[in-house]
Structure 1
Amino acid sequence: MPVLNRIAAYAEEMKGWRRHLHMHPELAFDCHDTAAFIVERLKEIGVDEIHTGIARTGIVAIINGQGAGPTIGLRADMDALPIEEITGAAYASTIPGKMHACGHDGHVTMLLGAAKYLAETRKFSGRVALLFQPAEEDGGGGQVMVQEGVMDRFAVTQVYGIHNAPNIPFGQFLTTPDALMASVDTAFVYLTGKGGHGATPHECVDPVVAVVGMVQAIQTIIPRNVYALDEAVVSVTQIHTGTASNIIPEEAMFCATIRCFKPDVRALLKKRFHEIVEGHAAAYGVTARIDYDWGYPATINHADNAAFACEVAAEVVGEGLVNGNSVREMGSEDFSYMLESRPGAYLFLGTGPGAGLHHAAYDFNDEAAPIGASFFARLVERAQPLA
């Protein structure tokens, strides 16, 4: 079964939705106009219930099927990024310094397209919970929705999500039966020494030398403390210190992003990071303060749900375009909190050649929206068939 004919019939309408969203990006939890636009579309579509104000601007909409049954959750993130768009598209962002550079406008469109079909046809039992989530990029809106009781309140029994994937063959679905995306933690380290004249370093306690030593030593964590088959990344991404060529500064700071897939490896990385920073601080005579931000956990699919999702994807695009054992990646996703709360799966959908995610020239491929919407729709019909 290819893209559902009914969904294909309103592909142009979906394109209009997506481009409107693209022109009006909002960040983090402040997705007020985005949420209002979604609510208006949901009313037009004719869903049965609309619940707003979840995780500030999140929405849960309910579509009832025919007859009793469980509730399946389908999730789309809504927030944009603080990036100045350079696509030059006629529908480019109208908000300076903000753009949909990760395709969440496309994710919302796919879920709205599925909602329109499901509300029209209702060829399923039980209920569908449409989860429109803010703050995936910054703030962990997925975690907040779970903490606010979405899964229990709406009796969600399983949950699924899609992320677009530029430069993956168009229409290809990728996922894994276990960990698909990494956990992400961020460490900020603030060093204090004793500043002074660059000509008299013996009178100073130099934080520049200390930060260099720490950063070099941190690079030993992966090759010397982590088992070679346990993928992990520790990348120092910022170093800030100093104001002039002849002044030894009083302070320095650096930060790092820390990623892996296993909880025990995650704990080891934190332990070794602290040991190295604290040990080098003592050796160099500086004081160190570490702010270690414990971020999103790894996105871990449930094997049975991932296999089922691949079966459904194959109905839509063909078996040759479905890879259920793809390579996992070091990016992160707060859909991980939903998968910790309920069984489910997360998949990538290839959108063909184009600028990468989080790039100022990125643009979602509108031709992919009917594919994602058809996948969501068939997922519901297959998971909760009519009696």
Structure 2
Amino acid sequence: MPVINRIASFAEDMTGWRQHLHAHPELGFDCHETAAYVAERLRDFGITEIHSGIAQSGLVAIVEGQGEGPTIGLRADMDALPITEETGLAYASSVPGRMHACGHDGHTTMLLGAAKYLAETRNFSGRVALIFQPAEEDGGGGGVMVDEGIMDRFDIAQVYGIHNAPGLPLGMFSTTPGPLLAAVDTFEIHIRGLGGHGATPHETRDPVVAALAIAQGIQTISSRNHYALDDLVISVTQVHTGSAENIVPETAFVGGTVRSFDENVQKMVQRRMAQIVEGTAAAYDVTAELDYQVWYPATVNNADRAGFAAEVAREVAGADNVEDNASREMGAEDFSYMLQARPGAFLFLGQGESAGLHQAKYNFNDAVAPVGASFFARLVERAQPLAG
């Protein structure tokens, strides 16, 4: 079964929704205008049970099926990124310094397309919870929505999400049972020494050499404290210090990111980083403070639900366009919080060749929206079929 005919028939409308969202990006939890636009479209579809103000600007809308049954959750993220757009599109961002550079405008559109179809047909039992989430990029809005009780409040039994994938062939699905995306942590190291003249470094306690030593020491964690076949990435991405070539500065800063899949590995990194920072600071006679933040957990698909989602994807895209044993990746997703709370699956959906995610020239491919909407719709109909 290809794209659902009814969804294909309003593909032009979906393009209009998506391009409106693209032109009006919002950041973090402040997605109030986006949520209002989504709610207006949902009401146009005849959906009246809309719960707003969750995680500040998130909303959950309920579509009733025919007869008793469980509730299935479908999630889309709504927030944009603090990037200046360079696409030159007629519908490019109207807000300086913000753009939909990750395709969340497309994710929201795909869920709206599924909502329109499901509200028209009601060809399922139980209920569908349409989850429109803010703050995926920064703030963990998915975790906040879970903490605010959406799974219990709406009796959600299973939950699914999609992310577009530049470079993956147009309309191709990719997923895997078990871990799919990594946990993400961040670290900041604030170093303080004693500044002075660059000509008399013996009179200083130099935070620059300490910062460089700490950065090098951190890189040995993955090479010397970690089994090489287990996935781990530690990247020092920031070193800031100094103001002139003849001044030894007072302070230095080192920051970066850690990606992992195993909680024991995560704890080992945190422990070893603390030891390296403390020991190196002592060796260079400076003080150093480590601020290690544990952020999004690993995105782990339920094996049974991932297999089911792949079956549905094959119905929509064809058997040759579904990879159901994909390699896990070191990126991160706050849909992970929802998968910790309920069984479900997260999938990538190819949008063909394009600029990469989080790039100023990126744009969601509108041709893929009917595919994602059809997948969501068929997922509901297959998971919760009508009796008899």
Matched residue SS, 2:277 = helix
Within 5 Å, give how 1:348-387 maps onto structure 2: 348-387=348-387
Q: Does the aligned pair in 1 maintain the 2:231–2:260 contact within 8 Å?
A: yes
Deviations 1:289-318 (A, max 9, x none): 111111000000000000000000000000
TM-score normalised by L of structure 1? 1.00
Q: Distance in 1 between matches of 2:382 and 2:34?
A: 30
Give 1:362's aligned amino acid. Answer: Y
Per-residue deviation, 1:256? 1.1
In the alignment, structure 1 segments of 5+ residues that lack a partner are none
Tell me the distance in 2 between the aligned counterparts of 1:48 and 1:99.
30
Q: Provide, for residues 46-87 of structure 1, a one-character-per-residue CA deviation record: whole Å limited to 9, x for no partner.
A: 114100000000000000000000000000000000000000
1:239 paired residue number: 239
1:123 match:
123
Please list, as runs of the form range in 1=range in 2, the aligned pairs for 1:61-76 lying within 5 A after superposition: 61-76=61-76
Does the 8 Å contact 1:74/1:376 carry over to 2? Answer: yes
Query: How big is the shift at 1:226?
Result: 1.1
Partner Cα separation in structure 2 for residue 191 and residue 269 of structure 1: 20
Q: Distance in 1 between matches of 2:223 and 2:213?
A: 17
Cα offset, 1:217, TM superposition: 1.1
* Residues paired across the two proteins, number: 387
What is aligned with 2:264?
Answer: 264
2:79 aligns with 79
User: Match of 1:216?
Assistant: 216
Could you list the structure 1 runs, at least 4 aligned residues long, displaced by more than 6 angstroms after superposition: none
For 1:318, the aligned partner's letter is G
Alignment root-mean-square deviation, CA:
0.5
User: In 2, Cα distance between the equivalents of 1:69 and 1:171?
Assistant: 31
User: What corresponds to 2:273 in structure 1?
Assistant: 273
**Where do 1:310-329 residues align within 5 Å?**
310-329=310-329
For the pair 1:22 / 2:22, whether they are aligned, the reply is yes
2: CA distance between counterparts of 1:226 and 1:119? 51
- Partners of 1:172 and 1:328 lie apart in 2 by 17
Structure 2 spans left out of the alignment, 5+ residues = none
In the TM superposition, residue 319 of structure 1 has moved relative to its aligned partner by 0.8
Distance 1:17 1:223 in 2: 48
Aligned to 1:292: 292
The alpha-carbon deviation at position 252 of structure 1 amounts to 0.2
Work out the CA distance in 2 between the residues paired with 1:228 and 1:310: 31
Letter in 1 for 2:99: M
Q: In 2, Cα distance between the equivalents of 1:48 and 1:173?
A: 32
Q: Is the 8 A contact 2:42 2:48 kept in 1?
A: no
**Percent sequence identity over aligned pairs:** 67
Q: Which residue is 2:192 aligned to?
A: 192
Q: TM-score, normalised by structure 2?
A: 0.99
Are the aligned partners of 1:181 and 1:328 in contact in 2 as well (CA < 8 Å)? yes
Task: For residues 255-295 of structure 1, give each alpha carbon's deviation from its aligned partner in whole angstroms, at most 9, with x where no partner exists.
Answer: 01000111111111111111111110111111011111110
CA contact (8 A) 1:60 1:131 kept: yes
CA contact (8 A) 1:48 1:64 kept: no
Structure 1 segment 88-167 matched on structure 2, within 5 A: 88-167=88-167
1:77-129 Cα offsets, whole Å, 9 max, x none, are 00000000000001100000000000000000000000000000010000000
